[in-house]
Amino acid sequence: MSSPNAESTAFRSALEVIRAVEPRVAGAIAAELADQRESLKLIASENYASPATLLAMGNWFSDKYAEGTVGRRFYAGCQNVDTVEALAAEHARELFGAAHAYVQPHSGIDANLVAFWAVLADRVEAPALRRAQARQVNDLTEADWFALRRELGNQRMLGMSLDAGGHLTHGFRPNISGKMFDQRSYGTDPVTGLIDYDKVAEIAREFKPLILVGGYSAYPRKVNFRILREIADSVGATFMVDMAHFAGLVAGKVFTGDFDPVPHAHIVTTTTHKSLRGPRGGMVLCQPELAEQVDRGCPMVLGGPLPHVMAAKAVALAEARRPDFADYAQRIVANAQALAEGLVRRGARLVTGGTDNHLAIIDVTSYGLTGRQAEQALLDSGIVTNRNSVPQDPNGAWYTSGIRIGTPALTTRGLGTGEMDTIAELIHTVLSRTTAGANPDGTASKAKYALDPAVADKVSRQASELLTGFPLYPNVDLT
């Protein structure tokens, strides 16, 4: 365990070196720490990485190119990169009980792209090449490649709809996945807000996807991955799970059995930040039969890996293997449930009525607001959230009708269930005192709002006072 003096010295020294070159960057870094210390951060996809994880990213590994995989690089001199990549993969396999781990993806979307192309290569490209090569004595003809490109781009994906809690990378048009695949969505029950597995099976039988995607970015309940795997098997689909949001709950053994995706999915993707509390990056876990294709992520999809981030992943994954991480994961869920219960007691309407995981969705139409209005009013009051769609959202994906709140970051700071009830009161105070605004022509605005500055100031002060008992990075003093 590092000493307070060691952490303070490390960050002070780093800022001193930066300040000598570009003082404005050093100032922005220091200001970011100050802002984060003062913010009541409820963004479900954000967290606080440890000092060891942060420091692992600022070193000479940043200077290395390392295309390829461990022991098979396109550049010389990668022996130390091999060490940290192998360590990160080892920790990932042990932590999640996975057969294979690929730790190079730069982000969640990169991890998903690696997974998509690995499945396409395994299920479509390889068989097509074998068929073409059987007809050709020499190299493939241009006609063969044209036919293959058409076949690769003519596959089907089935995933959760955006308004039900799915993610853009699961086949939606604004994202590259929606241009790669013919996509269809499954939603949730219009009354309960829960996944209707019978309906998913019905859609899968009719649509016959190549890939069935499980996972979410805004669904507040557990998912039964055993049932989804059975549905995938029944239609011959590859079952992929994106656990970017809840990887920490899997690592911390909050989600086990049918609710742990790793034993059930052919391939699992994740980010390494969010509830896993590591550096910003991605990762792919898979069954042995897909390992070779996944390891071709660079150069198939990725450019040069980021060895300094892989070093930080190794540190964060090692931290997640410690016993105290399981306690942390349990407290994330306890806090989320306490926050949800506090909001419901005060009359807030939540999607599905509560939560089983790290997040909850407030339907702010019950306050007469759009998600954008609520998001900004809360921000004015020192509470950082993000607007989010609700099922069958009447306000669309930009203005939305919901607010997504999550507890990983505040749990890292040490806040508990008692503080969550206080936060529920602060959120309810802001939303109940905010009113929708109007456009210049008198029509209702989906963006403008009115909130008494005195209310916003009072809530901001209360939030700040609450956080004083839970200092962020207490061992880091930059003064």
Q: Tell me the HSE value of 192 on the side-chain side, using a 13 A CA sphere.
A: 8
CA 119 and chain centroid, separation: 21
Active site residue: 274, 313, 372, 413, which one? 274
Question: Measured between alpha carbons, how far apart are the two ends of the chain, in Å?
Answer: 22
Is 24 among the residues known to form the active site?
no
How far, in Å, CA of 110 to CA of 176, rounded? Answer: 11
Q: What residues contact 71, with CB distance under 8 A and at least 6 apart?
A: 82
| Cβ contact 283:257 at 8 Å | no
Taking alpha carbons only, the member of 91, 166, 336, 358 closest to residue 249 is: 358
Q: Is 242 a catalytic residue?
A: yes
The single residue listed with the structure tokens 């050093």 is: 26
Q: Which residues of 325-352 are buried (b: 16+ CB within 10 A; e: fewer)?
A: beebbebbbbbbbbbbbbbbeeebbbbb
Which is nearest to 112 in space by CA: 159, 48, 144?
A: 159
The alpha carbons of the chain give a radius of gyration, in whole angstroms, of: 24
Cβ-based neighbour number of residue 131 at 10 Å: 12
Active-site residue identified among 38, 67, 82, 421: 67
**Catalytic annotation on 65?**
yes
DSSP 60-110: GGGG----EETTEESSS--HHHHHHHHHHHHHHHHHHT-SEEE---SSHHH
CA distances (Å), 468 to each of 41, 174, 380, 426, 471, in order? Answer: 14, 41, 19, 16, 6
- Contact between 399 and 372 under an 8 Å Cβ cutoff? The reply is yes
Kindly state the helix (H) or strand (E) to which residue 289 belongs, with its residue range.
helix 288-294
Active site residue 393: no
Asked if 67 and 81 count as a contact pair (C-beta separation under 8 A), the reply is: no
Tokens 């809530």 found at: 459
Catalytic residue among 69, 188, 271, 272: 271
Residue type, 90: E
Q: Which of 242, 260, 295, 375 is catalytic?
A: 242
> Does the N-terminal peptide bond of residue 299 adopt cis geometry, omega within 30 degrees of 0?
yes
- 126, amino acid identity: A
| Cβ neighbours around 289 below 10 Å, total | 12
Show which residues are catalytic. Answer: 65, 67, 242, 271, 274, 280
